[in-house]
Amino acid sequence: MDRRQLLYGTGIGLLSGVAAHAGLEANVTEDEAQKPQPLSLSDYQPTSMLHARETRVERARHPVIDIHTHITSSVKGVNGVSLAAERRFHAAPEELIPVMDRKNIRSMVNLTGGYDSGLNETIRKYDQSYGDRFYTFTEPCYARFLEPGYPQTQAEAIEQAHRDGARGLKILKTLGLYLRENITSGKLVKIDDPRFDPMWDACGQLKMPVAIHISDPIAFFTPTDRFNERYEELNHHPDWSFYGHDFPTNAELIEARNRVIARHPDTRFIVLHVGNFAENLENVSQNLDRFPNMNVDIAARIGELGRQPRAARAFFDKYQDRILFGTDATPHVENYPQQLFIDALYEIYYRFLETDDEYFDYAPAKVPPQGRWRIYGINLSDEILLKVYNRNAARVLRLSI
């Protein structure tokens, strides 16, 4: 057995094996063929050889309320701060309803409904035209941040949005990571800045839940280097990194958010993306234990939950009344065969929640977009599925279903 056969025979080093194979085809000398050849990370797309069960879950077992979608979004942003009421519409309701019917989605909650005229137009097109299929949340108007009396006018704007039909308030990570004292310049405004207290209180009084996103994967707060588990993602989107500059740490953001939740016990918070710390369920659990007014959604984090299936399953068992189904879906039906993408996206969530399948992709993509790992299903009980799919959201949104 020569060295090349030895590499094949024992499978020593996958990359060495690939290089030896490439060498054979190119008919180069044996010496050269034995040298490991460089392979760019972006070209590396290993195919799993594991024979694992594949269960297709086309429809959720119970009707779904997706608490976290972005059917509309802001048209104009400067340095991460939205400055216009006008909305961009990613998909018409007539395009979404067939997908929703196929996937057993009762309702989609569009978090980024904006404010003023943009909010009203959104509510008219979706909520009011299609009964309970769509619900819209409002957002703060940061363009008015420098106006005198902003804290009070922002609270009044929430009251107006409520009268106009908004179901809750959405806070993007603009607050804490982009909004500055002069809106787009100066010092960053902290999440627990008291100027927002009247806004949080108004939500509590009106029983409008606050869906709050304040941070990002912990890897976004560390250098984009060879040790970063989300290197490819950050390399692709360098502006997603919050490492360095004057950005707060992930821990500082979470502490500031916790102070807001503690200071407003009558306001109900949906802390998005598994409490913005899906990599550390112990931390999320501690906060859920501390704050009865805190709930979480699972949007865009089944990659995290599914790589720790035993801890995730225990988390769902313990907090089964406070976890809401969400995906972060942003439908762009006009751009590409998004219908298929949305179908595949929902099916992965259902497979994760409903089966005990092993080692499957957490996203419909060739290379896992958030990091190179795969996930395992957690096979929730029927009772917990019902709560996560719709009961918990119905309670938070005060729907009778």
The footprint of Zn ion (CB under 5 A) covers 328
The least distance separating Zn ion from the CB of residue 297, rounded to whole angstroms, comes to: 9
Strands (E), 224-363: 269-271, 294-297, 323-324
The least distance separating Zn ion from the CB of residue 270, rounded to whole angstroms, comes to: 11
Nearest to 310 by CA among 375, 239, 399: 375
- Identify the three-state secondary structure at position 323: strand
The least distance separating Zn ion from the CB of residue 66, rounded to whole angstroms, comes to: 11
The least distance separating Zn ion from the CB of residue 172, rounded to whole angstroms, comes to: 8
Residue type at position 209:
P
Nearest to 210 by CA among 95, 109, 316: 109
Asked if 294 and 261 touch (Cβ cutoff 8 Å), the reply is yes
Q: Which is nearer to Zn ion, 64 or 155 (CB)?
A: 64
Q: Which is nearer to Zn ion, 296 or 384 (CB)?
A: 296
Q: Which is nearer to Zn ion, 66 or 328 (CB)?
A: 328
Q: Write down the residue that tokens 């991460």 correspond to.
A: 80
Residue 383 in tokens: 């009772």
Provide the CB-side half-sphere exposure for 178 (13 A, CA): 19
Q: Which is nearer to Zn ion, 328 or 354 (CB)?
A: 328
Q: Which is nearer to Zn ion, 192 or 328 (CB)?
A: 328
Q: Which is nearer to Zn ion, 60 or 172 (CB)?
A: 172
Enumerate the β-bridge partners of residue 296: 271, 323
The least distance separating Zn ion from the CB of residue 110, rounded to whole angstroms, comes to: 10
Residue type at position 250:
N
Q: Return the DSSP state at 388.
A: I
The least distance separating Zn ion from the CB of residue 70, rounded to whole angstroms, comes to: 6
The least distance separating Zn ion from the CB of residue 67, rounded to whole angstroms, comes to: 10
| CA–CA dist 100, 336 (Å, integer) | 18
Q: Which is nearer to Zn ion, 127 or 328 (CB)?
A: 328
Asked if 50 and 359 touch (Cβ cutoff 8 Å), the reply is yes
By residue count, the chain amounts to 401
H-type helices in 185-308, by residue range? Answer: 197-206, 231-236, 250-263, 272-276, 281-290, 302-305
The least distance separating Zn ion from the CB of residue 328, rounded to whole angstroms, comes to: 4
Measured from the Cβ of residue 64, the count of other Cβ atoms closer than 10 Å reads 26
Q: Which is nearer to Zn ion, 71 or 294 (CB)?
A: 71
Mind spelling out the 3-state secondary structure of 53-68?
CCCCCCCCCCCEEEEE
Which residue number has the CB closest to Zn ion?
A: 328
Residue 358 in tokens: 């092993």
Residue 252 in tokens: 């500082």
Q: Which is nearer to Zn ion, 299 or 388 (CB)?
A: 299
Q: Which is nearer to Zn ion, 73 or 267 (CB)?
A: 73
String of DSSP letters for 307-322: TSHHHHHHHHHHTTTS
Q: Which residues are CB-contacts of 230 (< 8 A; sequence separation ≥ 6)?
A: 217, 219, 220, 370, 371
The least distance separating Zn ion from the CB of residue 381, rounded to whole angstroms, comes to: 28
Asked if 243 and 220 touch (Cβ cutoff 8 Å), the reply is yes
| CA–CA dist 177, 188 (Å, integer) | 7
The least distance separating Zn ion from the CB of residue 307, rounded to whole angstroms, comes to: 21
Q: Which is nearer to Zn ion, 304 or 328 (CB)?
A: 328
Residue 10 in tokens: 């024992």
